Structures are given as C-alpha cells and as structure tokens.
Amino acid sequence: MHRNRWAILATVSSALVLAPSVSYGQGGTLTPFDKLPDWSGVWSMTGGTVFDTATQTGKGGSVTPGVREHPPYNPAYEKIYTGHLALRDEDRYPDVQTNCGVPVGFPRILNLPDAYEFVVRPDVFYIIAENGGNTMRVYTDGRKLPAKEDTWGTYTGVSVGHWESDTLVWQTIGLKGSRDNDSILDRTGLVLSDAAKITTRMRKINENTLEAKMVIEDAKALTKPWEVTKQFRKNKPGLFLYDYGCAENNRNPVDQATGKTFVLGPDGKPAN
C-alpha cells in the first residue's frame, strides 16, 4: 500500500517537473544569451497572405474570388466562413485592419507582408512586424500562463514559452477571436473563437529560414487541432526598417456598414 502511494507520489512529482509541457514556462531558469539562437536580422514571410496554403483550394491570393482554405471547422464556423467568403467574392468583406485602427493580433501577426524582426532575449521574445506596425510578446522568464479567469481576450492574447534546444515553444491563450468581428486570420475571412489555444514551435531550419509551426485548438470552432506552418526568409544584411503609419495616407478605408473598400481620389472622395 505504502509502495503504491510512493509510486503515485513519484508520478505526480514527475509531472510537476515536466511542468513546461503544461505551463509553458521554464521553471524560473533563464536561458542565458550565449545559449540562445541567433535570429537577428530582417525577415520576410514567404508566399502571400493566404494563412494556410496547405489546405488552399482555388488559384490566387486571399482576395481572389474562389480561393479558400479548409480548416477543420465545425458546421457553425464553416457557415460563418462561407458567409465571409461570399462577401469577399463581392469585395465586401470588411477587414477592419484597412481602417488602421486595431492590431492584427495573433496568429495573423505571422501572416503579414513587409518585414519582421524577431528579438530573442532570455526573458522575453518579441515579434516586431513592420506592417501595422504590430508587436507581440512571448514571456520566457519562467512565469506560467494565467488562469482562464485572469484573461479577458486581447488581439495577441497572452503567451508564455520555453526553449527546447534551438526551438522556442510557446502557448497562446486569451485571444479575443472574432467576438467583435475585428480579428481575422486573413482576407478570405478565416476567424477563430475566443476559446482558441495555439501552441507554436519556432526554429531556424537553415541559416536563412525561420519556421513557425502552429497547432491551433479551438473547442468552439474546430473539430480537431489545425496545424499551420509559416516560413520567413532572411533578407540581405544592412536593411533598414521604418515606422508604418497606416493612417498616414490611407486612401482605401473600409465602410464598416457595407464592408466596401473605398478608393479615394485626390480630392479625398470615394471614386467607387
């Protein structure tokens, strides 16, 4: 009996030692700078802005009529997506990013044109996307993910990670999903719910390529985990990144009432 009790205790203790697989923190031990991989430089996403090209059908980009992806949506979210696709085909899907007001959020921050910097520090990992501009933080200082009741839904959520050799593994919760119709994954109209939980494994697969493999779980929207991979190529050294004042001269605002994207003439009035 005692032996069994000790066996159970040992099992539980082992589970606690392996806490990173649960909490995604790294137990308060910081990985020193010299043990971290070099992800310096300027990077650009490869391919266009279709979020999941592995399941894409139809030829073209995310705004091309007929193009769609096939996440393992349940019937309710498939219906939502089908509705968005129909609007997209009529050029009336309202992408609020076009009004330059809110962040793109996660995981769309890994689905942007222009340039990226990936800043690796012992305590935190930053994704700095020039487009937007958009920023995301992944804490690697040993903290644990907050309890669900301590999250309230934000565009990039809350992320905690740890290093497994040269791979950064992090989990993201607390996403707002499509609650206010202002968080989407791409312009085909892919959305997730506020129940989304995303586990990302990011590493260099060669000197010039970073890869982020995401496993998206969403009990409200998906029937099974959805795996999506994005890659980033390293640009030539010495490039400058700049600020990106989206509202500086936005001549393509979206009418939120109709979803229509305006094209403003030189007089500032819609030409369409």
Partner 1 sequence: MNFLKKVGPVAQVVAVAGFAMQPVLAHHSGAGFGTETREISGTVKEFQFTNPHSWIQVNVADASGKIVEWSVEWGSPNQLGRDGYRPATFAPGTKVSMKVHPMKNGAPIAGFVAAKFPDGKTIGNWDAE
Least Å from the CB of residue 27 to partner 1: 40
Give bridge partners of residue 202 from the DSSP assignment. Answer: 168, 212
Closest CB to partner 1 among residues 32, 266:
266
Distance from C-alpha of 264 to C-alpha of 236, rounded to nearest angstrom: 35
Least Å from the CB of residue 234 to partner 1: 14
Q: Which one of residues 130, 182, 194, 218 is an interface residue with partner 1 (CB under 8 A)?
A: 130
Read off the DSSP letter of residue 31.
P
Q: Classify the C-alpha dihedral 29-172-219-217 as positive or negative.
A: negative
Nearest to 123 by CA among 136, 138, 134, 135: 138
Distance from C-alpha of 52 to C-alpha of 156, rounded to nearest angstrom: 19
266 binds partner 1 per the rule CB under 8 A: yes
Residue-wise burial string across 233-269, b where 16 or more C-beta atoms lie within 10 A, e elsewhere: ebeeeeeeeeeeeeeeeeeebbeeeebbbbeeeeeee
Site for partner 1 in 142-181 (CB under 8 A): none
68 binds partner 1 per the rule CB under 8 A: no
What is the size of the binding site for partner 1 (CB under 8 A)?
40
254 binds partner 1 per the rule CB under 8 A: yes
Q: Which one of residues 121, 179, 220, 251 is an interface residue with partner 1 (CB under 8 A)?
A: 251
34 binds partner 1 per the rule CB under 8 A: no
Residues 106 and 159 sit within 8 Å (Cβ to Cβ): yes
Least Å from the CB of residue 34 to partner 1: 31
Least Å from the CB of residue 28 to partner 1: 39
By the criterion CB under 8 A, which residues form the site for partner 1? Answer: 48-49, 61, 63, 88, 91, 93, 95, 97-98, 100, 112-115, 130-131, 187, 235, 239-242, 244-246, 248-252, 254, 260-263, 265-266, 271-272
